Amino acid sequence: MPATKGLSIETLGLCLWDSPINLPDTGIFTSDDDVMAVKPNLKTLLDQIREGQEPEAFEVAGPREKIYFEPEKVKAAIVTCGGLCPGLNSVIRAVVMQLWHRYGCRYIEGIRGGYLGLSHDKVNNFNGLTPDDVEQIHTQGGTILGTSRGSPPTEEMADSLIAKGINMLFAIGGDGTMRGAAALTREFTKRGAKIAVIGIPKTIDNDIPWVRRTFGFETAVSIAVEAVKAAHVEAECVFNGIGLVKLMGRESGYIAANATLASGDVNFCLVPEVDFDLEGPRGLFASLEKRLTAREHAVIVIAEGAGQKFFGDAIGRETDASGNPKLGDVGAYLRDQIREYFKSRQIAMTLKYIDPSYIIRTHCGNAGDQLFCARLAQNAVHAAMAGKTGMLIGYWHGRMTHVPFHAISGRQKINPAGELWFNVLESTGQPAQFKK
Amino acid sequence: MPATKGLSIETLGLCLWDSPINLPDTGIFTSDDDVMAVKPNLKTLLDQIREGQEPEAFEVAGPREKIYFEPEKVKAAIVTCGGLCPGLNSVIRAVVMQLWHRYGCRYIEGIRGGYLGLSHDKVNNFNGLTPDDVEQIHTQGGTILGTSRGSPPTEEMADSLIAKGINMLFAIGGDGTMRGAAALTREFTKRGAKIAVIGIPKTIDNDIPWVRRTFGFETAVSIAVEAVKAAHVEAECVFNGIGLVKLMGRESGYIAANATLASGDVNFCLVPEVDFDLEGPRGLFASLEKRLTAREHAVIVIAEGAGQKFFGDAIGRETDASGNPKLGDVGAYLRDQIREYFKSRQIAMTLKYIDPSYIIRTHCGNAGDQLFCARLAQNAVHAAMAGKTGMLIGYWHGRMTHVPFHAISGRQKINPAGELWFNVLESTGQPAQFKK
Amino acid sequence: MPATKGLSIETLGLCLWDSPINLPDTGIFTSDDDVMAVKPNLKTLLDQIREGQEPEAFEVAGPREKIYFEPEKVKAAIVTCGGLCPGLNSVIRAVVMQLWHRYGCRYIEGIRGGYLGLSHDKVNNFNGLTPDDVEQIHTQGGTILGTSRGSPPTEEMADSLIAKGINMLFAIGGDGTMRGAAALTREFTKRGAKIAVIGIPKTIDNDIPWVRRTFGFETAVSIAVEAVKAAHVEAECVFNGIGLVKLMGRESGYIAANATLASGDVNFCLVPEVDFDLEGPRGLFASLEKRLTAREHAVIVIAEGAGQKFFGDAIGRETDASGNPKLGDVGAYLRDQIREYFKSRQIAMTLKYIDPSYIIRTHCGNAGDQLFCARLAQNAVHAAMAGKTGMLIGYWHGRMTHVPFHAISGRQKINPAGELWFNVLESTGQPAQFKK
Amino acid sequence: MPATKGLSIETLGLCLWDSPINLPDTGIFTSDDDVMAVKPNLKTLLDQIREGQEPEAFEVAGPREKIYFEPEKVKAAIVTCGGLCPGLNSVIRAVVMQLWHRYGCRYIEGIRGGYLGLSHDKVNNFNGLTPDDVEQIHTQGGTILGTSRGSPPTEEMADSLIAKGINMLFAIGGDGTMRGAAALTREFTKRGAKIAVIGIPKTIDNDIPWVRRTFGFETAVSIAVEAVKAAHVEAECVFNGIGLVKLMGRESGYIAANATLASGDVNFCLVPEVDFDLEGPRGLFASLEKRLTAREHAVIVIAEGAGQKFFGDAIGRETDASGNPKLGDVGAYLRDQIREYFKSRQIAMTLKYIDPSYIIRTHCGNAGDQLFCARLAQNAVHAAMAGKTGMLIGYWHGRMTHVPFHAISGRQKINPAGELWFNVLESTGQPAQFKK
């Protein structure tokens, strides 16, 4: 019978302190031995075991009975990076509340303006955070700490944190932020600095591997549905009306797909995971024309990362400050191409184009996201207090988990042969492919 | 003492029928003698009277005791034209309910797709409307009848209506629609056709003279405020963030001004009524740069009709199907110009541009607009039943009025020396002018 | 030709100071000679004039060119009293902004907890207000100053204000609050204290005479509509379902009537202005039974002040701290009586009772109310700066006006023979009366 | 090595038909061998295996490659029972869409008014459902089919369904509904009737075992948060203000607990799972008094099933038509008791009591619930088509599962020693117990 162990999580040292959490009768501590299989299908598991393999597993997140840090010596810092996303303030709030109320930490700094706030000349801009400062921020969109793209060199960031005496960093952000946090972890290890680095993954696109649901995603879908409704009304009210909505989704079309399903009004859903052609008898245009002939209106939803092939290879090379390749504006492109197509076919139509991205991402989290943000943040604090580092909080089959930064690579994407996409095809009635 | 009379309203003939409205104890009939002064300031009135002038006045709208049409012979038609606006379905609903329940009319047609639905080949596309058809439509945006811009020739529209036996037309739409309705009235008069033509003015911009408030405006402002909030969050969360929102307002900046006041987050409000320069020491750019230096973020709201001088004279000449001159896209222009300005000054900044127009105009009316739409529609029906024609329902100093089509010309605009604009200057802190 | 003059407004003395409001080109000052007729119907006016009467008129509100107070010597205080109402914070915010930014006043106190905050032992609890304190409060319900019912003796309140050097009081509240403000005005006059007392009328019921619309009313109606929708769903989904909603409206049923019209789902609307019987062949119960037989569901809306006769005379005598008579709980009464009636008739039915009052009144103002609150507050400040006192800001036929406290008596009520009630009868289909 | 098998699901017979689902490239079929462990903790699993136990497991839901029913012979019926819950219409919609579009079934009946619609005299009241009928219903609250409590005898229901030729029943409802469905399954088996009975569990309280999340719960929490906000505003704005909110939760306090966490404004959260005393030095009243002394306001949330001990044993015996014991009205009781307590202590305070239950449960599902309802319904249809019966669709660790009716007993409850309750204690600051 093989032993089994979670994906190994780096730690700063032995946990010698008793957790201050000791409410009467609450036996809620989690052990590092509590692990959950990465692939929990029971048949798969039994097969693995039968073949003598050790099933891959995640450590389950939660409060530990013994902790690494003495609470009154904790100097925590929080940073938010990259684009806005519903729930950022909820995460900040819950990290502060958890550190303060549950562990008794009294020194919590907010780093201003993302990783750039860790450059030498900004290091005195930190601002102290107390429960009073954050009590009501969950009802506002954005992040009270500000954000930015890009970062100073890792060494400089490490210098700044060490200079301020920080021993616990909570980094909230996407891909690039997690890479930055991983680099910081290595730098601290190299220097022998006992600083815990914990990531809280933020991606409105919901595209981080091993993290089934990211905060803000559900809120984003609900606002996206409103935009789809607007497009539907515009389309229905005129002859040959087309409503075109561009939604977030650089490499994964989850928002587009889920908004399509939740609204029920979409006829064409285009995502990065499924290639499509515009021209040809089985292309999008022919299908769209057929729809107009039959129903005199159509609603199209496109994820921003879909159809990037129309912008050639050049586009792929430029990147923004976060290191993401700059995308061609496929919404505007499709708008113009559709208009041209129908003009050339001498078919009257009216297209209304809606880009609700900023309205979506500046929203505050809805009640469901509030709860989810709080759980993420609470478990991030538990992990940091236990001296864990070089990891982020994942969400897998309904449990919060510890995931080492190095396990994250690539993107979680929609499986075009899976249930979600199948449901989209069903809901829209669109063919499985738009191919010349 | 001079006699006084309302702006004269055309009528189809004598009112010989008793109104079927006769609930016990309700002495609610309005007489044609009930008029209200166009300029109700008491001092002005007394001065006019002293000088022997007859003060201009509007007939007050309301049910008449005697009516022109025998209810069972009424064949009413409703048409919605031009762009979408919150409350269209509420107006349709209330016209149908009023005709059906209060006057007992049983033949009500919805014309499909605006005035274009009155072309010869569409004349059989009318669809009959009953209370059941419209009972819940006020909770949906758009118009169940569809809409369009442009129209067939007046003669053709008159032919269609006469061919279908219509004797009462409710035309819901903007400027162009009212001009079309006026032309139809003249055509009917010429032909001796006893058909009442009543306009219900629709302009999301709230820019119709003698109509203080148009339906949908209040809803539009409330959704616009949400977009401004999004821009504010985007601006505040990054270094030198600029949130730029383009709002409706072709010739009048009421939505921009009111959204500015209701939100409290706007730093620059640009409207068609107030010219502005971009360059120069007192231009917008210099002021914006100063704001960024001082506060590191800024929110700009611009009405779509502002700054049209930047697009030269050529733009003014092209018109859309409704006869409105095509506007240059001042939102995109300003976005690009601002970016270029700061680039040339080597000042880092991030601009987020939001155009919420379609999201705004597809919304259903809020509770306030529901009530207002119902009052407009009810009074339109009262007027038609009394055989009035060639007029629209106005709203003046809190009363519904009868306004002849010919009295409408030009636009209601913000007075840059008045209270509203003064409040905007106060709220934004912007200078009275941006001038080289 | 008779002269005409507004209802006389008391003033503290001569206005010797130039208004600091002097933006270039803004000729926006209002003169005390600008008056508007209380009854602006033109025919009525001319008749009055013909008969040599002086038409009653209100002073029009607005900024005066000369003011009484030297801005830097202003010591303003704001108090909010009575029940909560959407928009309270918007009014507070606008008073502070107006005083600070437009007039340059720098000493503004918020009195804590209503008039009770003016008792001797609370006098040091005032808190200074600056634009920063109030910038975002309009997005929250309630009042940041707190509120209460009742008050210390007038003398004690006067002592407190004088002790603190206050020379300008803004009292936001209902009936009782305005009576208190009137008493304070008289007390100040008696003592020769030059303190301006300006009321901003608050009544979610919209029942103040000479004030066509009160702030918060529109927001209240919109939330009430949501509750009616809930009642409708409950009623429709079960056999013989009855949804019963109690709404605010002690003496006037405006919220009930307007929610009825805006929702379109109400079958019975009961208000204080229209007496009704429960029993008898033409009573409410018989009508309700008939409705259930025909449609198997019904929605009833009742204003809290309706049907008080069922509680006998005794009830009328007790009063709450604000001096309002305590009402019998007619919602619960009707709920129980209806259940008993159908039980006695052995007719199965399910009644769901909803009382959304606290959810309604704690809402923040919607965009329309934000704008309205701002206008009220701005004009209140203009009036105070001009040394006017003993008055409130009214709203009459679309204009803000000055109304002396003594002109306010009784309640504005729904006219059962007027258009609003007629529309309610029409929308519900209920008979004009429920009478034994 | 032990074999493993899901909790056995009853089937009607062999699946001989090919599934009509065959989109190109979509290998999405699920096999009955796909099972997931009921307790997926890896260590637990390995221990079980080591000890030779067969881990309990659920069949994973999803489309089967071979199906039992020939689609054109399917006669499906849908019934909704018990109290209203957000998302009911979304479930109905998705069942119809799935049957019609994906499997090609053309005979779908809606049973009117819950199980009572299956009594002999109602059997002709079914109404046929097509995609057109249900296309937009997900935007409305309630259920278009109506609902009821109680049911005719099982034999009578079976007679009705057999008489109408139904061979597939989707029963949407709570506990009692699932018991009824189980009884029907046994009756059909007894009679040899090949009728699939599939449950879709509905409980706004989220208290069904083996179903981590039930539809509507998330929406319910989000509306509950609004009510808590109202209570908070009421409490904060007056001296010693207490806001008391009663929320749903007969035996489990999930809504109360989650609303407490999502709002952040609650000071006392009372649920059925945690006993509490009112009196005594460590009772609720003493704690509440202390809170008022310190902060002058308090917000209390109580689940309707909490504190039932205050109503004695008698209450427990009466039941409603669904067989649920009638609860004492603990909200009103607590309201009165608190008032009395402070009166007896001569402490002034103001309590505002809010019961938002009907407003919550009549809401339509939010975007998240729309998606969840669709997945439940789709999998219910897959199960029925495969001839499975006597089961409901569960949700366990992120997967949809098949759960036999007999596995459901008792309630899922909050563990007072678990993380959720711990978080509630943390958020409120309340002691772990209120005990004399």
Secondary structure of residue A80 in the 3-state scheme: strand
Is B218-362+416-428 the same fold as B59-214+365-396?
yes
Q: What is the mean pLDDT of residues D165-177?
A: 95
Interface residue of D84, D119, D362 to substitute, partner C, most C CBs within 10 Å: D362
* Chain C residues inside the 8 Å CB shell of D248: none
What is the Cα–Cα distance from B359 to B367, expressed in whole angstroms?
Answer: 18
Cβ-Cβ contacts under 8 Å, D43 against chain A: 4, 33-35
Residue D248's pLDDT is 96
Model confidence pTM above 0.90: yes
- A358–B230 CB contact, under 8 Å: yes
Instruction: Look at D367 and A225 and tell me if their CB atoms are within 8 Å.
Output: yes
Task: Say if the Cβ atoms of D366 and A23 lie within 8 Å.
Answer: no
Segment (H or E) for A343: helix A330-344
State how far residue B113 is from chain C, nearest Cα, in angstroms.
Answer: 26
Q: What is the DSSP letter of D101?
A: I
Which one of B42, B60, B378, B421 makes the best mutation probe of the C interface by having the most chain C beta carbons within 10 Å?
B42
- Would the CB atoms of A367 and D34 count as touching at under 8 Å? no
Residue of higher predicted confidence among D33 and C379? C379
Site from C22, C42, C282 to mutate, B interface, most B CB atoms within 10 angstroms: C42
For residue A235 the two structure tokens come to: 């389309």
Question: Between chains, do B433 and C264 touch, taking CB under 8 Å as contact?
Answer: no
3-state DSSP of A236-273 = HCCCCEEEEEEECCCCCCHHHHHHHHHHCCCCEEECCC
Kindly state the helix (H) or strand (E) to which residue A94 belongs, with its residue range.
helix A88-97
**What is residue D75's DSSP assignment?**
-
Q: What would the pLDDT profile of B375-409 be if each residue is shown by its tens digit?
A: 999 999 999 999 999 999 999 888 899 999 998 88
Chains contacting A (3 or more CB pairs within 8 Å): B, D
Distance from CA of C318 to the nearest CA of D (A): 18
Q: What per-residue confidence (pLDDT) applies to B382?
A: 96
Which residue in D28, D57, D264 is closest to A422 by CB distance?
D28
The alpha carbon of residue A132 is apart from the nearest alpha carbon of chain D, in Å, by 12
Q: Would you say residue A4 has pLDDT above 60?
A: no
Q: Note if B320 is an active site residue.
A: no
| C71-203+366-385 CATH choice from 3.40.50.920, 3.40.50.720, 3.40.50.1370, 3.40.50.450 | 3.40.50.450
- Please tell me which of the candidates B143, B233, B353 has its beta carbon nearest to residue A362: B233
- Asked if C326 and C312 touch (Cβ cutoff 8 Å), the reply is no
Model ipTM value = 0.93
Q: Mean pLDDT for chain B?
A: 92
Average pLDDT, chain D: 92
Q: How far apart are CA A324 and CA A304, in angstroms?
A: 13
Q: CA-to-CA distance for B139 and B366, rounded, in angstroms?
A: 9
In this structure, how many other beta carbons lie within 10 angstroms of the beta carbon of residue A154? Answer: 18
Question: Stretch D399-424: mean pLDDT, rounded?
Answer: 89
CB-based contacts of D95: which residues, under 8 Å, 6+ apart?
D76, D78, D108, D170, D377, D380, D381
Q: Do A140 and B227 touch (CB under 8 A)?
A: no
Out of B159, B175, B205, B369, the active site residue is B205
Q: pLDDT tens digit string along D43-53?
A: 777 788 778 77
Q: Which helix (H) or strand (E) holds C317?
A: helix C314-317
| Interface contacts (A, D; CB < 8 Å) | 166
Beta carbons within 8 Å of D30's beta carbon, 6+ residues apart:
D60, D61, D62, D63, D64, D382
Chain A residues touching B140 at Cβ < 8 A:
233
User: Quick one: how far is CA D132 from the chain centroid?
Assistant: 28
**How far does the CA of residue C280 sit from the closest CA of chain D (Å)?**
31
Chain B residues near residue A113 by CB distance under 8 angstroms: 238-239
Tell if the CB–CB gap between D422 and A28 is shorter than 8 Å: yes
Residue C247: is its pLDDT beyond 90?
yes
Looking at CATH, the fold of the domain delimited by A59-213+365-396 is given as Rossmann fold (3.40.50)
Q: Which residue, among C216, C269, C313, has the nearest Cα to C416 in the 3D structure? A: C269
Q: Chain A: nearest CA to D346, how far in angstroms?
A: 32
Does domain D59-214+365-396 match CATH 3.40.50.450?
yes
Which CATH number fits the domain C217-362+416-428, given the four candidates 3.90.1150.10, 3.40.50.460, 3.40.50.300, 3.90.550.10?
Answer: 3.40.50.460
User: What confidence score (pLDDT) does residue D26 get?
Assistant: 53
Q: Which residue of C has its CA nearest to B398?
A: C397
Distance CA D191, CA A308 (A): 61
Domain B218-362+416-428: give its CATH code. Answer: 3.40.50.460
**Nearest residue to B93 (alpha-carbon basis) of B144, B39, B46:** B144
Q: How far apart (Å, rounded) are the C-alpha atoms in residues B140 and A186?
A: 56
- Given CA atoms A309, A312, A316, A321 in this order, what sign does their dihedral have? negative
Residues in A touching D45 (Cβ below 8 Å): 37, 42, 45
Decide if C25 and B416 are in contact by the 8 Å CB cutoff. yes
pLDDT of residue B125: 83
Are B1 and C418 within 8 A, CB to CB?
no
Contacts of A101 in chain D (CB under 8 A): 426
Parallel, antiparallel, or unpaired for β D168-173 and D76-80? parallel
Q: How many whole angstroms separate alpha carbon C142 and alpha carbon B281? A: 44
For residues C209 and B359, the answer to whether their CB atoms sit within 8 Å is no
Q: Mind listing the pLDDT tens digit for each residue in D324-374?
A: 788 999 999 999 999 999 999 999 999 999 999 999 999 999 999 999 999
Are A229 and B135 in contact, with CB atoms under 8 Å apart? no
Domain spans in chain D, listed from the N-terminal domain onward: 59-214+365-396, 217-362+416-428
Indicate if the pLDDT at residue A309 is higher than 50. Answer: yes
For D359, the closest of C146, C147, C354 (CB atoms) is: C354
Q: What is the pLDDT of residue C316?
A: 55
d(CA D292, CA D302): 18
Catalytic member of D159, D175, D205, D265? D205
Chain C environment of B426 (Cβ under 8 Å) = 97-98, 101-102
| Sequence-ordered list of residues with C-beta below 8 angstroms from that of B259, at least 6 positions apart, any chain | B221, B224, B225, B227, B228, B247, B266, B301, C367
Is pLDDT above 80 for C27? no
A221 to chain D: nearest residue by CA?
D367
- Closest residue to C261, CB basis, from B212, B374, B396: B374
Q: Which residues of B touch C419 (CB under 8 A)?
A: 28, 62
How crowded is residue C153: how many other Cβ atoms within 10 Å of its Cβ? 12
D11 vs B161, D163, D164, D197, CA distance in Å? 64, 22, 22, 10
Cβ atoms of B75 and B109 within 8 Å: the answer is yes
Q: Which residues in chain B come in under a pLDDT of 50?
A: 1-4
Residue C187 to residue A254: CA distance in whole angstroms: 69
Are C425 and C226 within 8 A, CB to CB? no
Beta carbon pairs, A and B, within 8 Å: 83
> Residue holding tokens 């007719």?
C347
Q: Is the pLDDT of residue D398 over 90?
A: no
Tokens describing residue A79: 């940073």
Mean pLDDT of C261-286: 96
Q: Which of D371, D395, D421, D433 to mutate to test the interface with A (most CBs of A within 10 A)?
A: D371
Do D260 and D229 touch, CB atoms closer than 8 A?
Answer: no
Cα separation of C8 and D391, whole Å? 80
Helix A175-191 vs helix A154-163: angle between axes, to the nearest 10 degrees?
A: 60
Nearest-angstrom CA–CA distance, A395 and A213 = 7
Instruction: Mark residue C398 as left, alpha or beta (left: phi above 0; alpha: psi -120 to 50; beta: remaining).
Output: left
Shortest Cα distance from C80 to chain D (angstroms)?
A: 10
Distance (Å, whole) CA D78 – CA D88:
11
Q: Tell me the per-residue pLDDT of A211-235, one tens digit each, with 9 for 90 and over.
A: 888 999 999 999 999 999 999 999 9
More confident residue, C275 or D28: C275
Residues 6+ apart with CB under 8 A from B249: B205, B207, B255, B256, B271, B272, B303, B304, B305, B306
Residue pair C403/C392 in contact by the 8 Å Cβ criterion = yes
Q: Under a CB-based contact definition with an 8 Å cutoff, are residues B374 and B153 in contact?
A: no
Length of chain C: 436
- Neighbouring chains of B at 3+ CB pairs under 8 Å are A, C
Which one is catalytic: A159, A175, A205, A265? Answer: A205
Q: For residues D205 and D251, is the Cβ–Cβ distance under 8 A?
A: yes
SS3 D158: helix
- Residue C56's CB: how many other CB atoms inside 10 A? 16
Instruction: Please give the structure tokens belonging to residue C135.
Output: 């910038």
Q: Is residue D337 left, alpha or beta, with left meaning phi > 0 and alpha meaning psi from -120 to 50? A: alpha
CB B366 within 8 A of CB C366: yes
Say if residue D249's pLDDT is above 90: yes
Mutate to test the interface with B, among A148, A335, A358 (most CBs of B within 10 A): A358
Distance to chain A for B181, nearest Cα, Å: 20
**Range with the poorest average pLDDT among A121-135, A407-421, D234-248, D305-319:** D305-319
Chains that touch D (3 or more CB pairs under 8 A): A, C
**Residue B167 contacts by C-beta under 8 Å, 6 or more apart in sequence?**
B69, B73, B74, B75, B76, B194, B195, B196
How far CA B170 is from CA of B163, B377, D51, in Å, comes to 17, 9, 82
- Which residue from D minimizes the CA distance to C243? D358
Distance to chain A for B353, nearest Cα, Å: 8
Other CB atoms within 10 A of residue D170 CB: 28
Among B265, B335, B348, B272, smallest CA distance to B299 is for B265
**Residue D23, pLDDT score:** 60
> What three-state secondary structure class fits C272?
coil
Among A346-355, A389-398, D240-249, the least confident range: A389-398
